[in-house]
């Protein structure tokens, strides 16, 4: 336990130091890593811990992003205010989607969420909504500057802003998942009939899991809009949902640290893949997906856990 706290502290110190030693572009990439980590944490709560498969989380990501963009563009809201609003909107939206989803299991839920993910861009391009969503062109927003005249450039400020929110989200998740709630979610995933027989209100937990999961991914979406300063329908197609799925499979299901490993993977591997084959980074993604399912089904987090357990047991 103490060892973990020490490791996390070291990690945080390094994280705070990084923007000052690497280039602006790298800082931007690391900001996105944190955004993805938050999104993946959201998906993991739903799919990893609670066993509800979602192939449509890109839709909540888009919802959060557009919330932020519309508030900033149309309502002139300050960037930091958009995050809680996006969180609230996505919490409700996720919960509402989770209600009908209660009746769907496994593959059928995957199918329904897949449909959601595929349909989202078209919905965002819809003419009648265009005066808010900006239609096909999307919305461009201004880049936030560091407040109070702090000696940080815009990229560095965005990094720390995202870092603060991400850390808060992770701490919240850790608290939620390690106690009764986390155990209930896992119980519902593994033996839902037994769980209900023990008095766990499975319907409430499952819908709440959907809501919370959507909230996390929505917050990530809002942060991504602020970091990239641009939202457009086609950036939120089914492949975003698929990327998130890849992230939690590679990072490790039902694991908080897995969200971080997965985020690193989805941010940096496409660049690597680009160098291997200019034209087919996705094919490499696909191969990785299959590889992990066959060879490392518990993901990187699981593999690390296994390694540590082995080292502890051998003298």
Partner 1 sequence: MDVVLHQVLAGLATGGIYASLALALVMIYQATHLVNFAQGEIAMFTTYIAWSLVNAGVPYWPAFGITVAVAFALGILIERVVIRPVENAPVLAVVVVFIALLVILNSVAGWIYTYTIKSFPSPFPKEPLFGIRYMSPHELGAIGVTLLVLAALYAFFRFTPLGLAMRAAAQNPQSSRLVGIRVGWMLALGWGLAAAVGAVAGMMVAPIVYLDPNMMGGILLYAFAAALVGGIDSPMGAVIGGFAVGVLENLLGAFVIGNELKLTVALALIIGVLLVRPSGFFGKVHVTRV
Contact footprint for partner 1 (CB under 8 A): 47, 51, 53, 55, 100, 103-104, 106-108, 110-112, 114-116, 118-119, 122-123, 125-127, 193, 238-239, 242, 245, 249, 253, 277, 279-283, 285-287, 289-290, 293-294, 297
Return the number of the residue (177 or 246) whose C-beta is nearest partner 1. 246
- Please choose, from the candidates 22, 35, 2, 26, the residue with its C-alpha nearest in 3D space to the C-alpha of residue 243: 35
What's phi and psi for 140, nearest 5 deg? -105, 135
Least Å distance between CB 100 and partner 1?
Answer: 5
Return the number of the residue (87 or 249) whose C-beta is nearest partner 1. 249
Least Å distance between CB 193 and partner 1?
Answer: 6
Least Å distance between CB 82 and partner 1?
Answer: 25
Least Å distance between CB 78 and partner 1?
Answer: 33
Helix axes 57-74, 106-125, angle to 10 degrees: 30
- What DSSP designation does 150 have? -
Return the number of the residue (19 or 258) whose C-beta is nearest partner 1. 258
Q: Is the dihedral of CA 57, 62, 68, 74 positive or negative?
A: negative
Looking at the chain, the number of H-run helices and the number of E-run strands are 14, 2
Return the number of the residue (223 or 259) whose C-beta is nearest partner 1. 259
Strand partners, 76: none
Helix axes 79-101, 57-74, angle to 10 degrees: 150
Return the number of the residue (147 or 286) whose C-beta is nearest partner 1. 286
Least Å distance between CB 49 and partner 1?
Answer: 12
Return the number of the residue (152 or 303) whose C-beta is nearest partner 1. 303
- Please choose, from the candidates 35, 34, 57, 62, the residue with its C-alpha nearest in 3D space to the C-alpha of residue 46: 57
Least Å distance between CB 254 and partner 1?
Answer: 11
Least Å distance between CB 269 and partner 1?
Answer: 13
Return the number of the residue (179 or 286) whose C-beta is nearest partner 1. 286
- Please choose, from the candidates 129, 44, 83, 110, the residue with its C-alpha nearest in 3D space to the C-alpha of residue 301: 44
Return the number of the residue (144 or 270) whose C-beta is nearest partner 1. 270
Q: How far apart are CA 313 and CA 195, in angstroms?
A: 33
- Please choose, from the candidates 252, 272, 270, the residue with its C-alpha nearest in 3D space to the C-alpha of residue 261: 252
- What DSSP designation does 143 have? P
Q: How far apart are CA 201 and CA 198, in angstroms?
A: 9
Least Å distance between CB 48 and partner 1?
Answer: 9
Going by DSSP bridges, is the β-strand pair 230-231/139-140 parallel, antiparallel, or unpaired?
A: antiparallel
Q: How far apart are CA 101 and CA 87, in angstroms?
A: 20
């Amino acid at each position: 336990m103490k060892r973990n706290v020490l490791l996390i502290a070291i990690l945080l110190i390094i994280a705070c130091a990084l923007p000052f030693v690497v280039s602006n572009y790298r800082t931007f990439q690391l900001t996105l890593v944190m955004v993805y980590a938050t999104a993946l944490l959201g998906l993991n709560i739903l799919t990893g811990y609670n066993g509800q498969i979602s192939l449509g989380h890109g839709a909540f990501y888009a919802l959060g992003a557009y919330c932020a963009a519309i508030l900033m563009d149309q309502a002139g809201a300050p960037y930091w205010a958009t995050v809680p609003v996006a969180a609230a909107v996505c919490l409700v939206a996720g919960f509402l989607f989770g209600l009908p989803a209660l009746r769907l299991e496994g593959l059928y839920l995957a199918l329904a969420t897949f449909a959601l993910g595929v349909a989202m861009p078209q919905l965002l391009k819809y003419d009648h909504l265009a005066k808010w969503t900006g239609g096909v062109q999307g919305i461009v927003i201004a880049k936030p500057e560091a407040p109070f005249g702090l000696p940080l450039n815009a990229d560095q400020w965005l990094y720390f802003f995202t870092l603060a929110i991400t850390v808060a989200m992770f701490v919240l998740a850790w608290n939620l998942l390690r106690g009764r709630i986390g155990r209930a979610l896992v119980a519902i995933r593994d033996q839902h009939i037994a769980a209900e027989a023990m008095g766990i209100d499975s319907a409430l937990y499952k819908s709440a899991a959907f809501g919370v999961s959507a909230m996390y991914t929505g917050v990530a979406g809002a942060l991504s809009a602020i970091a990239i300063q641009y939202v457009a329908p086609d950036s939120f197609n089914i492949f975003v949902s698929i990327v998130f799925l890849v992230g939690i499979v590679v990072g490790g299901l039902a694991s908080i640290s897995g969200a971080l490993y997965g985020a690193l993977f989805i941010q940096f591997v496409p660049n690597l893949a680009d160098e291997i084959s200019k034209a087919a980074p996705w094919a490499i993604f696909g191969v990785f997906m299959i590889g992990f399912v066959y060879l490392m089904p518990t993901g990187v987090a699981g593999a690390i856990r296994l390694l540590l357990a082995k080292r502890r047991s051998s003298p």
